[in-house]
Amino acid sequence: MKIVFSDDRLKMNWIRTDYEYAKVVCPSELAYEVKNEREGDIIRTKITLKNVSPKPYFTCNDTVGIYFPLPDSYDSREICMTSRCHSHIFCGGDISYIMALKMCGEAPHLGMVVTKGSLCHYSIERRIENASNDRGCFILHPSPIELLPNEEYVIEWVIFPHTGKKDFYNKLSQYRPFIYVEAEKYVMFENEENTICINTSFVAKNVMINDETLVPQNAAYTLRYKADSTGEKIFKIYADGIKTIIKILVLPEFKILAKRRCEFIVNHQQYFGKCEILNGVYLAYDNEEEHIVYSKTNDWNAGRERVGMGALLALYLQKNPDRHLLESVEKYAEFVQQKMVDLDTGEVYNDIGHTHGRNVRRYNYPWFALFFIELYNLKHDTQYLRYTVNIIRDFYRRGSTEFYPIMLPAVWLCEALQSADMILEYKEMLGYFKAHADRIIEKGTAYPASELNFEQSIVAPAADVLLQVYLLTKEEKYFTEGEKQLKILELFNGMQPDYHLYETAIRHWDGYWFGKRKLFGDTFPHYWSALTGNVYLVYADITGSEEYKKKAEASLRGVLSMFSADGRGSCAYIYPYSVNGIKTDFPDPLANDQDWGLYFMMKHLQN
């Protein structure tokens, strides 16, 4: 089957050719029939399930799977910009839908809404080859049902074109009576107040949340409440027989959460033992087996992303003095200066032993630079700025104007150099950053492949560098081009009423590389999702936009679900119900690199 919308200049086919559209997988007790009807650009699919056994049949969450193969993969930049999409899925009972957006942002896009029946979750079927770049095929799961012998159950949906996020949500009520649910906050802190707002596309006689009947106010229904306990809160919503849900997460008050996390790192994830070369380092931690983890494997080693633990603690201590934590950071700083960075040349190593693996990993440079900036902010010792300057010099000596770095601290470094009256170094660094931004402008959307062919953390740096350089120079071209990159970046983020998904960027490989379970599959959230929140925040600071300020906070809060109330962390939440038949929908047991997410939120709150 092909779906190509009639007014699509790019003639994109929205159905993958390697999977069968609306293929049904179910037990032998159930028979099924699939019918498709097309009227112009509107496609209606009807799937009828029938109990053909002589006894009643009860289904579970994954008893039935229906394939919905959208082209959500990173083949190459050219292919992504013309014929690939981001798929935002919500299986919320009677209110279930898919908002698929072209990666280039050019309409028409694809929408799907369930018009009869109910979905409870989705799974992923994913091939091993090119696995990091291919999100796989989506398998939709009807909600559990009870069928008498010869009884039938119907799932129907409508596929339609739309022009973007706002148009998609506006069009949903054209195809079915719809319930729009939105929370003021999807991740909230204990003792905070929150509001859930419900709007119906029809005049509802009875609207309830968790058996509480709501009274309409100005044609809307609202529930205000205060969080008095931590944990996931699932609110069941009913409107004249239509059922859906919204998921909220309550965490301890932010100061308490941050304190517990920092203490957990120092007490459980800093190594002191017989391997003297590792003494002082912060390492990954296995929450199941309760021990530190080290491996020369890149993503479990002593360097790379794990420097985020040091940056977090150095930032935390600036407002929260604590002798025990300070001693820990100082020991970690000694480790970094002796084992991870050549302080004279600025070269950043990939692991202990001054090793790199196959190539120098340029992603590492900005992170260690940022760690030294936070040490300077903590201790006001300019030696840390000199180390940072050397790191940035070596970074650009290696041709990094062609590279899209994650979290290049351009503004923070320039501000620190000015505060230290290091004007020559300030001018030198600004020159590097401007040259970098100019090269990004030249490339436009010709994004370079990195560890993946294309991803959110390639587009986010493009927008981030440009907007940071605008803040430093006030040259309009950097803002104009940065805003263009922002529009591409936004497409990775969904708006589903679930704290895992709302303003969370699509990522789907991190659990394999950084986690204990070594599973591919949608990671909602992954902490680098907050890169988008950082860009939103810079954009809001420049423009004064309240809309982007709100989106930024939602994005930054979203990654905090990677931390539990006792200060433990998880490197990724594997969100689908299952991946290649393996049950998922769980936080990976390994605390590894998630602390950047908490760092971003803390930086936002303190500034």
Structure tokens at 252: 């301890």
Strand partners, 416: none
The DSSP symbol for 277 reads G
- Which ranges of the chain have pLDDT less than 50? none
In tens, the pLDDT along 69-103 reads 999 999 999 999 999 999 999 999 999 999 999 99
Alpha carbon distances (Å) from 379 to 197, 322, 372, 386, 433: 46, 13, 10, 14, 26
Q: Which residues of 159-192 are buried (b: 16+ CB within 10 A; e: fewer)?
A: bbbbebbeebbebbbebbbbbbbebbbbbbbbeb
Q: Which two tokens stand for residue 56?
A: 């009643």
Question: The tokens of 171 are what?
Answer: 């069009």
208 near 237, Cβ under 8 Å? yes
Residues near 553 by Cβ (< 8 Å), separated by ≥ 6? 533, 604
Q: In which residue are the tokens 């409870």 written?
A: 120
* pTM of the predicted structure, to 2 decimals: 0.97
Phi, psi of 548 (to 5 degrees): -75, -25
Count CB-CB contacts under 10 A for residue 54.
Answer: 9
Residue 567 structure tokens: 């200060």
DSSP 338: I
One-letter amino acid of 295: S
Q: Return the pLDDT at 607.
A: 52
What span, in angstroms and rounded, lies between the C-alpha atoms of 346 and 340? 10
pLDDT for 605: 74
* pLDDT above 70: percentage of residues in the chain: 99
Q: What is the dihedral of CA 537, 543, 545, 551, to 10 degrees?
A: -20
Distance between CA 571 and CA 471 in Å, rounded? 32
Q: What confidence score (pLDDT) does residue 131 get?
A: 84
Could you check whether the bond before residue 525 is cis, i.e. omega within 30 degrees of 0?
Answer: yes
DSSP, collapsed to helix, strand or coil, labels residue 396 as helix
Please give the Cα distance from 311 to 601 (Å, whole number). 13
